[in-house]
């Protein structure tokens, strides 16, 4: 699954912010070898066993919601229109087309339309985030060398 960003209201943001530290704490305190995580349903005190990977995904969703960002979950193999992909990147559609044509993001043509795989888009986002972090680290190092920090 790819977790991609749509917008929670203030009640949902508060609930996510409340739940996130408890879920993170539980995951941190219990070994990764634990394949299932018990979840207590408050209404009837029934315990559910969820796959650890599902709870880790839930923690990622709560992180975005607590920050006020909406979240959409789509299968990695899902295909997006160029407008959907541009919206996910928060760029214009023509800019996205340029990225596609430059080979930065994999796509396929269906007739005259381009379709972008969600996993390809997420991979591009990861690479772009990494490039940004490296550039920021380089600027910080330059600032330290110049005594500007």
Query: CA–CA separation, 32 vs 143, rounded Å?
Result: 39
Regarding whether 83 and 70 lie in a shared domain, the answer is no
Last residue of a domain, one of 74, 101, 118: 74
Regarding whether 66 and 7 lie in a shared domain, the answer is yes
Pair of tokens at residue 26: 């539980």
Domain that holds residue 134: 79-145
Last residue of a domain, one of 55, 74, 93: 74
Query: CA–CA separation, 141 vs 29, rounded Å?
Result: 35
DSSP 32: T
| Alpha carbon distance, N-terminus to C-terminus of the chain | 41
Regarding whether 95 and 48 lie in a shared domain, the answer is no
Regarding whether 141 and 85 lie in a shared domain, the answer is yes
pTM over 0.75: no
For the chain, the domain total comes to 2
Task: Convert the pLDDT of each residue in 91-143 to its tens digit.
Answer: 999 999 999 999 999 999 999 999 999 999 989 999 998 999 999 999 999 98
């Amino acid at each position: 699954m790819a977790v991609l960003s749509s917008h929670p209201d203030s009640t949902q943001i508060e609930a996510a912010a409340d739940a996130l530290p408890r879920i993170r704490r539980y995951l941190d305190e219990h070994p990764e070898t634990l394949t299932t995580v018990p979840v207590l349903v408050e209404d009837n005190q029934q315990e559910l066993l969820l796959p650890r990977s599902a709870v880790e995904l839930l923690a990622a969703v709560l992180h975005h919601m607590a920050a006020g960002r909406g979240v959409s979950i789509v299968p990695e193999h899902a295909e997006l229109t160029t407008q959907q992909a541009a919206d996910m990147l928060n760029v214009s559609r023509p800019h996205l087309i340029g990225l596609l044509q430059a080979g930065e993001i994999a796509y396929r043509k269906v007739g005259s339309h381009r379709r972008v795989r969600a996993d390809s888009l997420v991979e591009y986002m990861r690479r772009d985030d990494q490039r940004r972090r490296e550039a920021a680290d380089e600027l910080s190092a330059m600032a330290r060398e110049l005594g500007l920090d």
